[in-house]
Copies of this chain bind each other. A is one copy, B any other.
Amino acid sequence: MKTALDFLKPRTVAVIGASRDPMKRGYRAIKTLIDGGYAGHVLPINPKEREILGFACYPDLASAPGEIDLALVCTPARSVPDVIGSCGARGVRAALVLAGGFSEAGSEGADLEARSMAAAEKGGVRVIGPNTAGLFDAYTGCNLVGWPGVYPGKIGVLCQSGNVAIGFLAQSQKNGHAGFTTFVGVGNEGDIRFHEYLRFYGEDPNTGAVIVYVEGFKDGLAFLAALREVAVRKPVVVYKAGRTGKGEGAARSHSGSLAGNYAVAQAALRQAGAIVVERSDEVFAVADMASRTAGRPTRRVAILSEGGGPISQAVDALAERDLELPRLSADTEARLKKITPNATQLDNPVDAGGGTDPHPRYFPLCAEAILADPSVDALLIVGYFGGYQVRYGSALAEAENTAARELVDLARQSGKPVIVQCHYAEFATGAIDILRAADIVVVRSIEIAAACLAGANRFHRVASGPLPAASLPPLSRRRETAAKLIAGARASGRRSLLEPEALELLASEGVAVPPFAVLHAPSDARSLAPMLEQGPVALKIVSKDILHKSDVGGVRLSVRGAPSIEAQSEALLQHIRMTCPDADIVGVLVAPMAKAAVEVIIGVTNDPQFGRVLMFGLGGIFVEVMKDVVFRTLPIDRQEAATMVDEIHGRALLDGTRGRPPVDREKLVSLLLDVSRLALAYPEISEIDLNPVILNADGCTIVDARMLLD
């Protein structure tokens, strides 16, 4: 059965702009196809040539024979709308456009891109690029990027930068055993976008792990949807550029796409199941590892070495990535003791050193005992195993290679992942080659080894855990009150709800809000409900023109009794009329004082890439100072909301400190879900800020509510 993008493994490629000049891309492309052993048909197209590199050359697409899966467009940008038009006329399924000079290069280029895409749509042609490095498929030998030395393996690469992909290729070449399936440079995503490519990798039987390098998504929500589908079946390792403000700038100008707030992107990608990696030098190894562990757990790690030092470093690196070092059983320890009588430490980490002579044979012997221990998920070997033959000379090569072969067998028999950190990983020793050929990852860096284990275990959790929430039981219907409040605000030309309106809207949606009243005149204080009248209450100015009430002295706290409320309201109104003479004042909001407790913030925003985003964190002044907040794209489910609550650094505050009882987490989680539902039901409310929400053992009190309209 054909999958949607099977032209990424084309049976026939037409090269438009084919050339006999070895310096031109139209020549090199054909040369690389020959060198790569491409099994499909190559149709050079050039009106001036009859034959190129042994292939018959055709003057145009119309005269070329047979079905054409893919046209490789090597001609300049200005020609592309016409070329794509001719592809459509000829029934070519897809066009790969190499040229730059489109939307990434200003408004003129954007216009050219729009015209190209219109031609594609009209002719039913799918477009890869423009402004792309190209694509290769290592299994069919269809190499349209012109990179030498691509060989088949398990890693698919979906990349917004050809130069970054070259970095992966170089690592594959040095490794000798970690190869590729299909590479696609997405370019400007003029037509086909990240999510469609990702689904292609999800279907591709050769692909064991996908690397995604992205600067910005054109359709972030569609990518998240595809990620939710694919990430439970295959590890998807995502590096998102633009972590810092400056990085965002660089990414924007590089690919003409939107790089949003990184914290949101990171949360959204994780939430949908990605393995998010934040160092460029870890991406390839993590994908390699995850493609080999294939969903097995790697959380509980045993460390094995002959000699310390690297053990201490490995312990730190594992702990920093939330991996565990289980204690080995007494039985395992006893077995190890027999193998390595001089060992200095056996309960994990296992340091088989202590003697004066090198013992590569210790490794399979100890590994056998360790892998049999049920408390161990995976084995990390550190130090110089794999490099004994460099360190001590070739006399040890045979013993070490034998040990490597035995280790391979043990890893297979036990079904548990083994990874080797070796100081000599860059030396192509026989032992390292044996290990890598048999799915045992060998890296030089201890930290990268730890990242590999963390990434593999992350995939295990995604693959074996509950599916990420794709939907949230919606509000049964849009309610009249909310619609009326929003319409009313708009009718009076406002772009936000007044605080009492926001509170009323929340209440109308079933969210518990504290009792409140609005005094349109101070004398209204005389008819307050007893609960408010008896106080203590807070008085807050209500005006569409005053968003930051405290900053202008628009709040009075701890007022009690109608006479005081009336007098203070009068004073408050006078003060505001003085300080903000142009403010349109509605009145004074009266609300009960909340007891001092834990203050949190619950917020909703619209992310340009990922849509509705929920924020939760410590509230009050700590929002700005400590920035202890976490994000999720909506929808979320109850489990995900509970995870959010657990992720803030200040979570211990919620458990009660200094004799305070813990807050009611269930009610907090329910409030997060209520706000999420409301945000999804009313997309016209562009931002919601509930800050602070005061939490205690009895529940949540929304002390301040702000809603902006789009």
Contact = CB atoms under 8 A, between A and B. Distances in A.
A417 to B, nearest CB: 21
Nearest to A443: B281
A300 interface: no
B308 A255 contact: yes
Contacts of A658: 550-551, 621
Interface string A244-263: 11110111011100000000
A658 B387 CA distance: 61
A427 B166 CA distance: 14
A339 interface: no
B621 A281 contact: no
A383 interface: yes
A164 B391 contact: no
Contact of A320 (B23, B148, B243, B657): B243
- 5 interchain residue pairs of minimum CB distance: A161-B309, A281-B445, A244-B319, A164-B309, A241-B312
A684 interface: no
A105 B343 CA distance: 11
A599 to B, nearest CB: 12
Interface residues of A, number: 93
A601 to B, nearest CB: 14
A375 B653 CA distance: 46
B427 A247 contact: no
Nearest to A553: B659
A690 interface: no
Contacts of A383: 163, 166
B445 A161 contact: no
A164 B315 CA distance: 14
A558 to B, nearest CB: 12
Contact of A357 (B23, B251, B384, B448): B23
A396 to B, nearest CB: 12
Given A165-B309, A241-B312, A281-B447, 5 more contacts: A247-B316, A254-B351, A280-B445, A281-B444, A625-B649
Contacts of A251: 312
A311 interface: yes
Contacts of A424: 170
What is the total number of copies of this protein in its complex?
2
A426 interface: yes
A109 to B, nearest CB: 11
A206 interface: no
A433 to B, nearest CB: 16
Contact of A426 (B174, B307, B351): B174
A82 to B, nearest CB: 20
Interface in A300-328: 305-313, 315-320, 325
A657 B551 CA distance: 10
A262 to B, nearest CB: 9
Nearest to A256: B344
Interface in A605-651: 621, 624-626, 628, 649-650
B244 A162 contact: no
Interface string A520-544: 0000000000000000000000000
Interface string A339-351: 0000011000101
A213 interface: yes
A316 B242 contact: yes
A310 B163 contact: yes
Contact of A390 (B170, B250, B279, B444): B170
Contacts of A310: 161, 163-164, 167, 280
A160 interface: yes
Nearest to A325: B246
Given A242-B316, A311-B250, A393-B148, A166 B384 contact: yes
A423 interface: yes
5 contacts: A169-B423, A170-B423, A280-B310, A281-B445, A281-B447
A446 interface: yes
A354 interface: yes
A316 B244 contact: yes
A588 to B, nearest CB: 20
Nearest to A391: B166
A100 interface: yes
Contacts of A499: none
A657 B548 CA distance: 13
Contacts of A247: 312-313, 315-316, 319
A471 interface: no
Most chain B beta carbons < 10 A, residue from A165, A249, A308, A316: A316
Contacts of A344: 100, 104-105, 253-254
Contacts of A325: 246
A351 B306 CA distance: 47
A162 B309 contact: yes
A133 B169 CA distance: 38
A439 interface: no
A107 interface: no
Most chain B beta carbons < 10 A, residue from A23, A307, A315, A628: A315
Contacts of A320: 243-244
Contact of A354 (B100, B160, B311): B100
A177 interface: no
Interface string A370-393: 000000000000011001001101
A233 interface: no
A315 to B, nearest CB: 4
B345 A254 contact: yes
A253 B344 CA distance: 8
Given A254-B311, A658-B551, A447 B280 contact: yes
Contacts of A650: 625-626
Interface in A19-65: 23, 25
Contact of A244 (B169, B244, B253, B315): B315
A344 B307 CA distance: 51
Contacts of A516: none
A319 B281 contact: no
A368 interface: no
Interface string A424-445: 1011000000000000000011
A356 interface: yes
